[in-house]
Structure 1
């Protein structure tokens, strides 16, 4: 059975997916696996029987977990006794945490708007893991994804056995009490204090990295640094994994032996220490995987068991982990950790046999890691770094030989000797600053990232087939030429994926759900043009300094850019800004930073808003041309002509009525995109274009009663009206009067606040509408 445990993991995974995803499909996968093991691998009937038992064992286990995953709360409950467990975060005037309601023993996410600076100070100083408080508030269901390919927060929480967000009205601070510590809460408490210790005693430049590498908490790292590391494909170095666990265990073992402790006692010590270390670092899937493998390896060596090799060890860890928590298969950290580890273990004999020098071995190892991670990275993040192999070759030795050992030793020495070793931290501080500067320079390399978009299920299947096939071919062939030939298999799938998006015969018009705002994607077939009308935006209000949040939600960065990248879009031919209000232009800077924008279109009006001026300043810096347009202007994309029908040049109007209004025939339909056009602008438009008829109207100003007037509708005669508005928005959009006007004329109404993103897919002159929530 040595080396066969990997097939048990494939069987177990098929059983879990049969319960969670699609029973029939994964039953078929299971039978194909049986056929493969019988005919190709020559498994005996006994082993095939064991494989079958494992499949149904994991299937039943997962079904039971799914059935038991429900809530005992009712939506109308208002009084709770909350135990704060983990992820206690205070950002500006917002407190959030994962908690447990002590009466029903059910996990819940709490969100609380802090009422005063004094209260905030008390919370920061006193609210720790293990504190229980009486809380009043209302329960709300987590939001589901409202855009295609968007993160589904509700499903994420459900898989973590959380069904409600408690929006607290009041946290009774005077009745908060410390509960008896459990092993989990004790280690969480030590972790929180360790993080605070590093914050207090390490320089501000090196403290965030030290916290990430010592305690597995990346929230303290500057967002720009994280994004830079992501672009280079080296962000995994900031998460605790096998490299960190192996380095720490090796250092402890070596130091123990050097001071005279026997190998047997050091092994026992490590077996006791490593599980504690996993809890101290937050018990992320990558940590659990690495610690479990190390514990199993040390246990087997201690009791001289040699019948199990490394691939069997990781397979056993996989089986135990997924049996205890089947939902963990959906965790991206779990997927990356196990896929890369499996790939490295399976390819290690080939790497060591064929590469005898350090640099080629490092580059080859980096390439294997990146290749194994490609399907997962494309599914969740839609793009890959083209310089990640080189970046990893630079940064892996830097982290493993210098940064990690230095941080471990300096933290230990600081605990023992205090500030007397402060002088030793300065060289590390300078090195970290230089390392981050180098990363920034590397991230500026043109075309460092290649955007593919989320792969379809068929393309994902091709990836999952081609990458193991590459490893299999590489194992059997020799020589650089043969290696390149084998590598062409996964690379060809990547080319198919990339070109499939760029040269698709289908086009689309998508009204992205950006809440209370507008953002519309127009993508023409065969890559003939990609246009973005507005970018949404979050309206900012002035507030006291203590209320300002470091991680404020920004719709361009959090919604628009990820949606575009998920569609495989890295270039915008024209970014069309209808006018300068924040809910239309607020996300534009993020679009300019993250995507290649060829040109910006703005309305030719008398005045520019501050946001428009900021946009043009950034455009000048990035050398992006812009143009001011008015009625009568037009441009052509492929066979499609975009007509600007408003505003009139030289006419002074209020900002909303100065919106860029576009008329275009696409996919067999006539479209009118109106921005925030109101009654005055509508009258001017139908007066200037008295014969204009349309099929689809983007209702002006989010369905406000000042827009979409009866005379406007009567002349244009639209069949469909699309309203982009935020759910439960403070303005009451869309107005009842507008909905009545539309309904009286039997105009079909589609709303982003009810349906989520709305998309019209077309090919030639025919197409169909769809919505995230039909």
Structure 2
């Protein structure tokens, strides 16, 4: 079933190859029962998959719905509301996106604990696709959970607070009450309580738990088998004290598992643990004599019947991978088993997150026993003690605060390796070798370990020393950000960082500060193994060009920040770079300077300024046999001044000034520079009307081919020596000039 899922929904080539090998293996067994069972299971799974796909095509068009929204599942960030719900009269779930109109409306939907019925009007639509290479794909993420469409809410009215509540409703009410109670506990205790018991993560979770994220301890806070086993043991002990029979204990335990699954967020990764626990209980009560591997396999089959694409989710991959690793390595000592399980997670984490901390193995060895013996009990005692008096639980919060700060501090130690994204076949090879290492012994284990180490080294070198270079325009919405990377990563230059502009927003509408560069451009850089930027060039002060600079300072090692002459006197800009590393140099330039080790030439500015549009830095370079010119937001007078001061300036590829605004791209400038390709970075449906029709007409009159992030998403020019080709993520276009 797993291989059929990969073939139907993932990489078909790899799926067919593995299915073929499995078919040969099954045929060689010559066991009629095994062959018949496999054929039957395959037919059933294929039927479930086809039925699921037919159901997904149903929700389209403009409609009104009644939906029930649970406060514990609604996500509110500023004025943005999103939630997953079953609309009345529709079989499948949908993701709803709405814009809150008042702070009172916001409180009404989040302050209560009972579900609220909304009447929403709007239109269903497919999820927006990922527009940058290796960007998190929201459409695929929800598709894997049998959610095909989102619903864009244009208006909604609160009909009522639900009064007739089902058992599921009451569990959500209890979870909401629990989460709200934890919000009033001391800060660290509250975060640990919701993370470890109800599976809820507040918006500031990753800000407070940087160590947990960087040291590979997120699996501890993702409700899984460890949590299920821990709470099931508490329930079992209570039933022993009550003297209940084995059958009654089994029934109560199964009911508890169902309720806890809903209470803890009903994540796909948790489903594995619940199914395995239920099968294990049935196995013990009825003496079926199933092995742990049988239970694991049965859980996987049931899970795939319920969610045919579940194994494409990172949480599910980690859940099944670690549980299989536990079964395969049960003969090993605790230290060897923990090390092996950590290395089993590495290929999965690298495929999704691209980085790994060397200290994570040691920290897991130390921390995992602490969670079961110290942290869990303290959190439970703290939650109960908070009902009596807050002063009683302050020592517990103090200990957790100290423990969490220790993890955060250790995560900043040297050892974070930005590995890059290995390909799927390589990940499968790494996982297979690691699993073989778990079951092998003696000299065979040493050979497998050697092959595994050589595989990691070869893949690391392949990612970090590419034969190709690239010039890339990121799709960051309304803003600019460009990458110039030379072959073998000899030099990495970034021009602008992008950033979100917020006009006229009230405090309650803004929500938590987040840098989109972390999920777009920085994410891409890490996926190709880049953790160091040699030159970060900031064209000028505008937020849509340098607003995400703090994120790069936090996430990347930056050798130099290069800015236009005079911008170091701009207080708002200097505030953005206040936290830069002391080794990061700040360099102010004009068109007369030749910057050593910068693979580009400065053409503007020639006078000191404040970093406004007319002060924009203009950069030119030659890569892959093409001449490139990046103009920031330079206005028309600045363009004419530039070609006047630098006569003969020409470019094959021009980054169009000011996102295609008519204030830039003077016809005389275009005529003088003679571009064949124009790059326009502008947000979809932006308020400014970029790119302007006048600019597009000018480019068309000069026979300039246009690549626009609005239509093409990320645009990359991949080159080797003096030849290359363009690639786009949307409306796929590949070809040479």
**1:438–1:127: structure 2 CA closer, same or farther, 3 Å change rule?**
closer
Conserved? CA contact 2:492–2:533, under 8 Å: yes
Counterpart CA distance in 2 for 1:59 and 1:170 is 40
Equivalent residue in structure 1 for 2:429, among 459, 465, 489: 465
Structure-2 change in CA distance of 1:298 and 1:652 (3 Å): closer
Whether 2:26 is the aligned partner of 1:62: answer no
Structure-2 change in CA distance of 1:24 and 1:665 (3 Å):
closer
Which runs of structure 2 are paired with 1:237-316 in the superposition (5 Å)? 237-258=220-241, 260-263=243-246, 265-306=248-289, 308-316=290-298
Alignment-derived partner of residue 320 in structure 2: 338
Tell me the residue number matched to 1:13. Answer: 2
Report what 1:119 is aligned to. Answer: 105
1:229 Cα shift? 1.0
The structure-2 alpha-carbon separation of the partners of 1:707 and 1:388, relative to structure 1 and needing over 3 Å to count, comes to same
Of 217, 221, 225, the residue aligned with 1:234 is 217
1:211 matched residue in structure 2: 194
Structure 2 counterpart of 1:675: 632
Q: Assess if the C-alpha contact under 8 Å between 2:565 and 2:609 holds in 1.
A: no
| 8 Å contact from structure 1 (residues 343, 372) kept in 2 | yes
Task: Give ranges in structure 1 of 5+ residues lacking alignment.
Answer: 1-11, 356-360
Given candidates 561, 580, 587, the residue that maps to 1:627 is: 587
Decide whether aligned partners of structure 1 residues 326 and 180 sit closer, same or farther in structure 2, where only a CA change above 3 A counts: farther
Distance 1:252 1:743 in 2: 72
Distance 1:631 1:492, change over 3 A: same
Report if the CA contact (8 A) 1:132-1:176 is conserved.
Answer: yes
> Could you tell me which residue of structure 1 aligns to residue 518 of structure 2?
557
- Native 8 Å contact 1:632 1:643 kept in 2: no
Select 1:419's aligned residue among 388, 396, 402. 388
- Provide the residue aligned with 2:621 in structure 1: 664
1:91 and 1:549 in contact (8 A); partners too: yes
Using the TM superposition, give the Cα deviation of residue 261 of structure 1 relative to its aligned residue in structure 2, in angstroms: 4.2
CA distance in 1: counterparts of 2:699 and 2:559, whole angstroms: 37
Which string of whole-angstrom CA distances, capped at 9 and with x for unpartnered residues, describes residues 131-156 of structure 1?
22222345454211110111122233
**SS class of match (2:209):** helix
Q: What is the correspondence of 1:604-619 to structure 2 with a 5 Å cutoff? A: 604-605=565-566, 608-619=569-580
CA distance in 2, matches of 1:105, 1:55: 25
Measure, in 1, the Cα distance between the counterparts of 2:241 and 2:65. Answer: 54
1:321 aligns with 2:282: no
Q: 426-435 vs 103-112, which deviates more?
A: 103-112
CA RMSD of aligned residues (A): 2.4
Runs of 5+ consecutive residues of structure 2 not aligned to the other structure? 732-737
Pairing 1:27-66 to 2, within 5 Å after superposition: 27-37=16-26, 42=29, 44-66=31-53
Q: Residues 539-590 of structure 1: CA distance to partner in whole angstroms, max 9, x if unpaired?
A: 134643333312x442222322112111211111111111111111111110
Is the Cα–Cα contact under 8 Å of residues 218 and 238 in structure 1 kept in the other structure? no
Which residue of 2 is the match for residue 490 of structure 1? 452
How many residues are treated as equivalent by the alignment? 730
1:341: Cα distance to partner? 0.9
Say whether residues 1:91 and 2:77 are aligned partners.
Answer: yes
Pair 55,403 (structure 1): closer, same or farther in 2 beyond 3 Å: same
Q: Please give the alpha-carbon distance, in whole angstroms, between the structure 2 residues aligned to 1:469 and 1:510.
A: 35
2:718, 2:12 → 1: CA distance? 30
TM-score, reference length from structure 1 = 0.89
Match of 1:8 in 2: none
Residue 376 (structure 1) shift: 1.6
Aligned partner of 1:148 in structure 2 is 133
| 622 and 26 in structure 1: CA distance in 2 versus 1, 3 angstrom threshold | same
Say which of 87, 97, 119 aligns to 1:101.
Answer: 87
Distance change (3 Å), C-alpha of 1:324 and 1:165? closer
Alpha-carbon offset, residue 105 of structure 1: 4.5
CA shift for structure 1 position 236: 1.1
CA distance in 1, matches of 2:23, 2:611: 71
Q: 1:116 to 1:724 in 2, by over 3 A?
A: same
CA distance in 1, matches of 2:673, 2:12: 50
TM-score by length of 2: 0.94
1:230-257 per-position Cα deviation (integer Å, ceiling 9, x unaligned): 1111111112111111111122223432
**Aligned residue number for residue 716 of structure 1:** 673
In the superposition, relative to structure 1, how do residues 240 and 162 fare at CA in structure 2: closer, same or farther (>3 Å)?
Answer: closer
For the pair 1:576 / 2:562, whether they are aligned, the reply is no
1:9 matched residue in structure 2: none
Q: SS at 1:348's partner residue?
A: coil
Tell me how far apart the structure 2 counterparts of residues 170 and 643 of structure 1 sit (CA, whole Å): 52
Preserved contact between residue 88 and residue 128 of structure 1 (Cα < 8 Å): no
1:378 alignment counterpart: 350
Q: Report if the CA contact (8 A) 2:189-2:382 is conserved.
A: no
